[in-house]
Amino acid sequence: MILVAGLLLVAGLSAACTYLIYRLYLRPIDLERRQLQELSSMHLATIEALALAIDAKDQTGANHIRRVQVYATGLAKALGMSAPEIQGVRTAALLHDIGKLAIPEHILSKPGPLTPEEFHKVRTHSQVGAEIIGAVPFRYPVARLILSHHEQWDGRGYPAGLRGEAIPLGARILAVADCYDVLTSDRPYHRAMSDEAAVRLLEQEAGKAFDPAVVSTFVRMLPELRAEAEAANAAAAAKAATRTESAKTVFDEIALAHREIYALYEVAQALGTSLGVTDTMSLVSTKLANLVPFSSCALFLGAEDTDLLQCRFASGTEAATLQKLKVRSGHGLAHQAAQGSRPTRSSSG
């Protein structure tokens, strides 16, 4: 009996000691771990919000950032990177284009070739992005990957002209993932390539612009990565469907601002061409419809040696009737606009 009581006492003391050790040492560690997880989740939510803002601004590449993230993360895992390095690549993929916030909209949206000055401005986005992210205390080298994702295997890239393995592996991965998605997406300056054509171009550039090992791994994994990207986009679409109306409005406003500037840029380009009145106005009215919905659009010009404004172009509802109209001096909205040298809007639209 005494032995049993002694054993129970020892067991009780052991349990008490274990509890005290947990309270004094393990519980604070567990609490700190949970706090770190919550902080990490908060950082990730902030990063994703930034990525959504960038994606909304760049409407020519809807879901580009998310697809690049899927491709880059899969490549990082396949190439044997460590867990912290993979997380760095994943985060850098979300934020690799953040420096484009400093690039004028008319350059990002330009449908034709860039001038040398415009191209120089675009090339600054990796440096700007690295400077923005450099102030964030990530536990992995995100800023360095953003800075180097336009370096090339043969040293012809920017901003530092790094060559071969001097380029961080994560940046080499981002370069391939980013290029493939740009090639297979519609952009102002090119139509989307087929998957087969994009793969051929990547393989041609292996050993030139891109790390050959990264290209071969990407091509081998592409069917799997594409399926994963499609699933991620579907999940994001479902999540967006449940987003609050205020959040939708914020991102819609960002996208709308981009579309407005792009449409105005195209209108300015049309006005600077040598097209005739009809061709110019056909193009202008199409672009204006994206900014200001209307049922009819007409252009009235002054006729020589008369006080009449004559319709030279009309589109939309009753276009045939509008084309026959002439407005006498002192009458109508068209005359008010011509006299005042400023827009005049009718209440009927």
**Peptide bond connecting 159 to the previous residue in cis, omega within 30 degrees of 0:** yes
- Any domain includes 225: yes
Lowest mean pLDDT among 59-63, 120-124, 162-166, 196-200: 59-63
How confident is residue 339, by pLDDT bands cut at 50, 70 and 90? low
For residues 76 and 192, state if they share a domain: yes
**How confident is the model over 71-109, as pLDDT tens digits?**
999 999 999 999 999 999 999 998 888 888 788 777 777
Q: Which domain holds residue 327?
A: 296-349
- What's the rounded Cα separation, in Å, for the pair 111 and 104? 14
**How confident is the model over 232-242, as pLDDT tens digits?**
878 767 766 66
**CATH number of the domain to which 132 belongs:** 1.10.3210.10
For residues 43 and 186, state if they share a domain: yes
> Is this structure's pTM higher than 0.85?
no
For residues 121 and 238, state if they share a domain: yes
Q: Could you give the number of structural domains in the chain?
A: 2
- CB-based contacts of 90: which residues, under 8 Å, 6+ apart? 69, 72, 73, 76
- Any domain includes 343: yes
For residues 74 and 167, state if they share a domain: yes
- Any domain includes 239: yes
For residues 305 and 255, state if they share a domain: no
For residues 190 and 242, state if they share a domain: yes
Q: Phi and psi of 63, rounded to 5°?
A: 65, 15
Tokens read off for 186: 């519609």
For residues 202 and 57, state if they share a domain: yes
For residues 185 and 306, state if they share a domain: no
- Any domain includes 288: no
For residues 57 and 106, state if they share a domain: yes
For residues 248 and 303, state if they share a domain: no
For residues 199 and 311, state if they share a domain: no
